[in-house]
Amino acid sequence: MGEHDDSKDCKFRVEYYCDDKHDHKDKHKHEHKYEHKHKYEHKHKHEYKCDHDHKDKDKHKHDKDHCHSKPGHSCGVDNVRVFGSSTETTTFPKTIKVPVTLAELSVVVCVEADIQLEKPALEIIRAWKSVILEQCELVPTFNPYAAKLFGSGFIRKNLEYATADHVSGSAVCGDIRHISALIPFDFCVGITFPTSGPSLQLIPDFTSSGELGNKTGTAAQLNMGLFGNRQFYNEKPYCELVFSEFTELDIGQDLRKVKCNEHAFSHVREKIVLNLGLKVLQDQQVPLPVINPPKPPHYPCK
């Protein structure tokens, strides 16, 4: 067995093994041919040791081939150039950004619903209702002075009723129970804005493209193009709920005779007419009025 040591930083160790099947002459020739610290046998075994500390070109090649193998595909941005912008200041008139009322309207919504009761009721004692407005979106139309208002929400109804649990000869006994139900509704109405006064301010975006002609002016350069786009960040209109009015008709269904002139019902059919008062607003820049200071009084000389 023989060893080979290199003087460079990367050291190699070579070991050779043989199963002693050669005769004496071949072995002698084999040893005589390679005299510089090598002992050879027929079966070879190579061991390589490297501390990854090559110098100059060898180190660069080692890192490239063995240590830092890059994937076949990469994605990135190269050759980025950043240009400065103008430092000139622009003066604006004195303004204030406040909510501007675009429209005030009342919307009539008709709703029908069935409310299932926990126990059969003898009569409805009291009912309270309120409105929960969940969505109110203003969508422009093809007319700049008109838009569509989409809205949706719930009517929260709290119903108190008397049950019929026990019936005697001259009375009906029971409990006072309640149920809180959420009845959904939605609507879509049109709004017309006045031509004078506050109006809806929505500036649309635009995208454009162009071509560059070739030197002869007979065709376009396919490897070049002119593109432009503008995105304007508008203030989104929103709604405020001003008031709500209800008129309704509650009809007991599935009547069951309890006593001679008394009937119990298991669910209620609701017919509601809802009137909503809404205000549509948008945050806009409003110029402040310019107030000239009063002139100082003039006192004539005597």
Total-model pTM: 0.61
Task: Identify the pLDDT of residue 72.
Answer: 58
Task: Identify the pLDDT of residue 200.
Answer: 85
Query: Tens place of pLDDT for every residue, the chain, 302 residues?
Result: 445 454 445 555 555 555 555 444 444 444 444 444 444 444 444 444 545 555 555 544 545 455 455 555 678 888 888 887 777 776 667 888 999 999 999 999 999 999 999 888 888 999 999 999 999 999 989 888 899 999 999 999 999 999 988 887 778 888 899 999 999 999 999 998 888 878 888 888 888 888 888 888 888 888 888 888 989 899 999 999 999 999 999 998 888 887 777 888 988 999 999 999 999 999 998 888 878 888 888 878 76
Backbone φ and ψ for 155, nearest 5 degrees, come out as -100, 115
